[in-house]
Structure 1
Amino acid sequence: MNKIFEVPLYPYERHADEDAATPVRRKVVVIGAGPIGLSAAIDLAQQGTEVVVLDDNDKVSFGSRAICFAKRPLEILDRLGCGQPMVDKGVQWNVGKVFFDDRQVYDFNLLPEEGHKRPAFINLQQYYFEEHLVNRVRELQEQGAKIEIRGRNKVSAIGTHPDHVTLEIDTPEGSYNLEAEWLIACDGAGSPTRRMLGLDFVGRVFEDNFLIADVIMDADFPTERWFWFDPPFNKGQSALLHKQPDGVWRIDLQLGWDIDKEREKRPENVIPRLKAMLGEDVKFELEWVSIYTFQCRRMEKFRHGRVLFAGDAAHQVSPFGARGANSGVQDTDNLCWKLQLVMDGTAPESLLDSYDAERVHGADENILNSSRSTDFITPKSEMSRVMRDAVLDLSEQYEFARPLVNSGRLSVPCTYDGSSLNSADALDGPERTRPGSPCPDAPLSDGFLLDRLGDKFVLLTIDADAPDAIEESGIRVTRLALSIKDDKSLALKERYLGKHESAVYLIRPDQHVAARRPGFDENQFRHAIRRAIGKE
């Protein structure tokens, strides 16, 4: 058994705030030291903001939990300073295979094109993910950043006010009160914050259960995602296999609805199921076992005054498609630059309403895809099952049927079509880089595009003239000048120019496109900057 579960990463230490005569007010308080809360805290700390993270635990999460981390979150983690160690530790993969009964019907590649720094996915146990984030917090602390994690600090009561939030916090040495100008709730699917504020989810709970087993074994399966429909070892149900670091394999087995969850988790019931799948002769050891029920739900709003919800606290989807933690990291990526501008007085507080609008849009997209995946994986009528099985049979021979197979539409970044922060598209360019879309990576002569964009507003010019910097409404936008003369792979031209000879893009701090034009027009881009920070 991996001992990382047992080691306190941020043990309780009494803080001066506990002895203050009156509650101390902090700039930003984050509840939850999981992947989403730590990502938010690191992002804000890198921008110079004081952040306090409160968690009722003092260790990493027990069990691997989320394991599939997609390309876009890895790119975000690069900007947070901890992408590379996660990729180094993780198992990289791009290929998936789909099986029906006892035969493979087809395979697919999630990143068929070259010219990206990061792979389509890595598999990495959540406890390692959290450990790397905590290590990054320690690095920032050594560099003088005002960021701290307070373990064994459980928030027991919350009060909301027009200009701050009050918190009552329980610790091993008693309770104390704290105030926050802003509160970010990243306290998971069962969010106590949401409950204390009397808020709830809207959505759907699916009538099915899946067994998760993390198994330590030596196996020669390739580093791919394998999904079975109606396999011989789990007839009438489905199964999933993923490789993780340290010889750990994730196995998901569909169990059905009417089960005794505690009974099904017992080793004497889990081990025969795994032997039926892996073979009687395969030696393995159980590391972690859990059972989950599909839920596709979200809060009606992610912003409630000075309280902002992110990750599973704001929305839940089924695990198929790896949309949970991946979308949570994208929540904080969307939120933190906006919150920083509001706190600096550069942008109006209403800019935070665009966080709600854009990430609700992202959550709805994830819920739609996740619900469709779940309906395909677990058909609710005999006719639905007949149709699904016909599609699977056809997919073995006919390519047209493969897009209809849904074993979990895997996580892709959200495009914020229709966002109030987007300027009208003035370039009939590639669809993938229209306003609202995340910037696709491209190889440059000295590295990769996304590393050059960084985490500030950027004016990206491709064979177009423009000033080296623009200052507008308190925002300094610097120019990144590129030319397709240096674009040996033609990725930059294909992804950003299309049929045009030049282009100018305004890129937001979260690397989403705010505006694009064939050339630089100062008035138009000043307008686009004001619009992108909610001033127009």
Structure 2
Amino acid sequence: MPDGDRYPLAHRLYPYARSADQDRDAGGPAHHPVIVVGGGPVGLALALDLGLRGTPTLVLDDAEGIGEGSRALCFSKRTLEIADRLGCGAPMVEKGVKWQVGKVFHDTDLLYEFDLLPEAGHKAPAFVNLPQPDAERFLVERIRTAISDGAPIEIRGRNRVTALETSQPARLQVETPDGPYALTADYVVACDGARSPVRKMLDLDFEGRVFEDNFLIADVRMKAEFPTERWFWFAPHFKSGDSALLHKQPDDVWRIDFQLGWDIDRKAELSEDRVRARVDAMLGEGVDYDLVWTSIYTFQCRRMRKFRHGPVLFAGDAAHQVSPFGARGANSGIQDADNLGWKLDLVVRGAAPDSLLDTYAEEREAAADENILASTRSTDFITPKSKASRMFRDATLALAARHPFARAMVNSGRLSMPSIYDSYLSMPDALPDGPPATRPGAPCPDAPLGDGFLLEKLGSKFTLLAIGCAAPETGLAVVACEPTPELTARYLGAAPSALYLIRPDQHVAARWPMADAATVAAAHSHACGATT
């Protein structure tokens, strides 16, 4: 399939170069505070976050740059807000195709449509469609800028980790074109994908389900009049598969997914003639298009039992996998990095106990369970595996065409939402009249503020948000403002004022109607992992 024109980004962004660590003759292996294994979006985002905080971070990638094909495509509002905090949200939004409306069809009938961001006053759109290679390129470009500004980040291409010991410090063996060498690290973060070699080195595995179905991805370049929306068909009238999904990408490329079933000949289904037959049936005869990239995937809903194993932590697909329906894969991985970055920084700098990293595992394991549950329910509805479940699915679809109550039961993929962390770090809610959506553990919703937006002003440090009240002197950063309609709806509710302690990942640590310095200091200490 032709892909050179559409994916010029699939090239060597960080070609192999011999490092000084490979030339050490005495004194043992070179030591690094944090080594990230894997240069995908999760590993790059984590390295960028750590480097911007001043924690030296080395990325080891077995490739020399980004890959091909759209792969992860739908980046959620929460992921875009994280990217904006890291300094690469703007190019992602500018390049990506913004959307917030989805439509669900059964055969030729439109069952219903939905709007993922019906309220105004947010900087980021609900979703952008952006091929994974583009997102990775923007992260690498931002890392380069950060390095030029002094951030201690290094990426080494064609440095493949071949062995890992979970001693303290951890010890790694690395293979390169010039031969092997050794490294040590205080912490190793495995972001090396679904087939994670690091996970296998430690003899660890997933728990969960593998779904017996196959889906064909076809990236098609064409001029088309389809609107910029997510369209999903159950039993599509064009008969190209049991279900189908259509998304618009940048540069006149469209992502089409066809459900093929379980017992297929993968090689035959990937032949250009067979792929074109399916696309032709969907688009109609005479539509001019180019096939850019194709792939077949079988999905899983599984995770590791534990995301932390001593000095080794797992993130992204290395730690958990979900079906693509709902865009929960890359988005949850970026949120792993968002959760881990500030904690790892505090621990490495000696500003928090090592046990703070246990809360990364606690919070993100719970988030993975949420994603797996939502993804499993979607997949069970889309690909029923028993006669009874198929009868239920078909009856639900038939009812949904005529009765609104049934539409809530139609599941074409519940789209990615950030998790609320009901964990040790979340203080009891001391603002009883406050909105439930911003209780402790919740991600901060954006709102217009002055000449910009709230999340821009919160930044990447512990911050006090004082709405209609004074913030005590604590040494923490302060964002003070008066109530606005958006702040009242999202942060005050029926309360006349509120003081919020915001974590560096922009989740709520605590909130009160007002609080003195000692109360805030205790909550801050608690959020940094103090146990007394």
Q: Does structure 1 residue 97 correspond to structure 2 residue 108?
A: no
Q: 1: distance between equivalents of 2:136 and 2:242?
A: 32
2:206 to 196, 201, 208: 201
For 1:479, the equivalent position in structure 2 comes to: 478
CA RMSD of aligned residues (A): 1.1
1:273 to 254, 278, 284: 278
Counterpart position of 1:440: 445
Report the Cα distance in structure 2 between the residues aligned to 1:77 and 1:6, rounded to whole angstroms: 21
- Choose from 6, 14, 21 the match for 2:18: 14
2:30 counterpart residue number: 24
Question: Is the partner of 1:176 in helix, strand or coil?
Answer: strand
Contact preservation (8 Å) 2:240, 2:279:
no
Residue 407 (1) aligns with residue 402 (2): no
Work out the CA distance in 2 between the residues paired with 1:218 and 1:435: 47
TM-aligned CA deviation for residue 382 of structure 1: 2.2
Match of 2:126 among 90, 95, 120: 120
Tell me the CA shift for residue 59 of structure 1: 2.0
| Counterpart amino acid of residue 243 in structure 2 | S
* Match in the other structure for 1:133: 139
In structure 1, the partner of 2:303 is 298
User: Are the equivalent residues in 2 in contact too, given 1:208–1:257 (CA < 8 A)?
Assistant: yes
The answer to whether the 8 Å contact 2:240/2:282 transfers is no
Task: Please say if 1:356 is aligned against 2:361.
Answer: yes
Q: In the alignment, which residue of structure 1 is the partner of 2:525?
A: 530
1:77 to 51, 76, 83: 83
Structure 1 residue 236: Cα displacement:
6.7
Report the Cα offset of residue 5 of structure 1. Answer: 4.9
SS in structure 2 at match of 1:466: coil
SS in 2 for 1:12: coil
Question: For 1:46-445, what aligned pairs fall within 5 Å after superposition?
Answer: 46-161=52-167, 163-234=168-239, 237-417=242-422, 419-428=423-432, 429-445=434-450
* Cα distance in structure 2, aligned partners of 1:210 and 1:456: 42
Please state how far the C-alpha of 1:3 moved relative to its aligned partner: 4.6
Describe the shift of the 1:66–1:221 C-alpha distance in structure 2 as closer, same or farther (beyond 3 A): same
On the 8 A contact 2:10/2:133 being kept in 1, the answer is: no
Offset at residue 310 of structure 1 (A): 0.3
The one-letter code matched in structure 2 to 1:351 is: L
Alpha-carbon distance in 2 for matches of 1:318, 1:146 = 35
- 1:236 and 1:50 mapped to 2: Cα distance? 49
Q: CA deviation at 1:390?
A: 2.2
**Alpha-carbon contact 1:234-1:253 (below 8 Å) kept:** no
2-structure distance, mates of 1:197, 1:27: 20
One-letter amino acid of the counterpart of residue 290, structure 2: E
CA distance in structure 1 between the partners assigned to 2:29 and 2:265 by the alignment? 47
**TM-score, normalization by structure 1:** 0.96
Inter-partner Cα distance in structure 1 for 2:316 and 2:7: 27
Residue 7 of structure 1 and its aligned partner are, at CA, apart by 2.4
The Cα shift of 1:510 comes to: 0.5
User: Aligned partner of 1:19: which letter?
Assistant: D
Q: Between the two proteins, what is the percent identity of the paired residues? A: 60
Shift of 1:389: 2.0
Q: Return the letter of the residue paired with 2:527.
A: A
Unaligned runs of 5+ in 2: none
> Given residue 188 of structure 1, which amino acid in structure 2 is its aligned partner?
G
* Amino acid corresponding to residue 253 of structure 2 in structure 1: V
* Separation in structure 2 between the aligned mates of residue 197 and residue 236 of structure 1, nearest angstrom: 40
- SS of aligned partner of 2:8: helix
Structure 2 CA distance, aligned partners of 1:234 and 1:303? Answer: 45
- In 1, Cα distance between the equivalents of 2:521 and 2:59? 37
Deviation at 1:84, TM superposition (A): 0.2
SS at match of 1:397: coil
- Confirm or deny: 8 A CA contact 2:240 2:258 kept in the other structure: no
CA-to-partner distance for each residue in 1:146-165, whole Å, 9 max, x for gaps?
2111111111111111x211
Contact 1:40 1:336 in 2 (8 A): yes
TM-score normalized by structure 2?
A: 0.97
My pick for the range that moved more, 316-325 or 260-269, is: 260-269
Alignment partner of 1:507 is 2:486: no
Partner secondary structure for residue 264 of structure 2: coil
Structure 2 letter corresponding to 1:88: E
Structure 1: which amino acid aligns with 2:129?
Answer: N
CA contact (8 A) 1:4 1:60 kept: no
Counterpart CA distance in 2 for 1:514 and 1:3 is 42
Q: Secondary structure at the match of 1:4?
A: coil
Alignment partners' CA distance in 2, 1:166 and 1:456: 31
State how many pairs are aligned.
524
- Residue by residue, what CA displacement relative to the aligned partner does 1:202-256 show, whole Å, maximum 9, x if unpaired? 0100111101111111111000000000012237710000000011100000000
Q: Which letter maps to 1:94? A: Q
In 1, Cα distance between the equivalents of 2:133 and 2:50?
22
Shift of 1:326: 0.2
**Letter of the 1:533 counterpart:** C
Distance 2:476 2:406 in 1: 47
Decide whether the 8 Å contact of 1:29 with 1:53 is kept in 2: yes
Given that 1:464 and 1:520 are in contact with CA atoms closer than 8 Å, whether structure 2 keeps it comes out as no
Once structures 1 and 2 are overlaid, which stretch shifts more, 397-406 or 298-307? 397-406
**Contact 2:36-2:60 at 8 Å conserved across structures:** yes
Structure 2 Cα separation of the partners of residues 532 and 59 of structure 1: 37
Q: Give the match's secondary structure for 1:169.
A: strand
| Distance change in 2, residues 1:18/1:432 (3 Å) | same
Measured after TM superposition, the shift of residue 344 of structure 1 is 1.2
Query: Secondary structure, in 3 states, of the residue corresponding to 2:408?
Result: helix
1:404 aligned counterpart, secondary structure = coil
Q: Is the 8 A contact 2:88 2:138 kept in 1?
A: yes
Instruction: Report the Cα distance in structure 2 between the residues aligned to 1:295 and 1:104, rounded to whole angstroms.
Output: 29
After TM superposition, list the pairs within 5 Å mapping 1:462-501 onto structure 2: 462-467=467-472, 469-470=473-474, 476-484=475-483, 487=484, 490-501=485-496
- Report the Cα distance in structure 2 between the residues aligned to 1:394 and 1:448, rounded to whole angstroms: 43
Q: Secondary structure at the match of 1:337?
A: helix
For 1:465 and 1:234, the matched residues in 2 are separated by 63
Give the SS at the match of 2:238.
Answer: helix
1:451 to 452, 456, 474: 456
Q: Which runs of 4+ in 1 moved over 4 A?
A: none
Instruction: Give how far 1:400 is off.
Output: 2.1
Amino acid at match of 1:105: L
- C-alpha distance in 1 between matches for 2:470 and 2:10: 57
Residues 241 and 260, structure 2, Cα contact 8 Å, conserved in 1: no
Which sections of structure 1, spanning at least 5 residues, go unmatched? 471-475
The residue number in structure 2 matching 1:473 is none
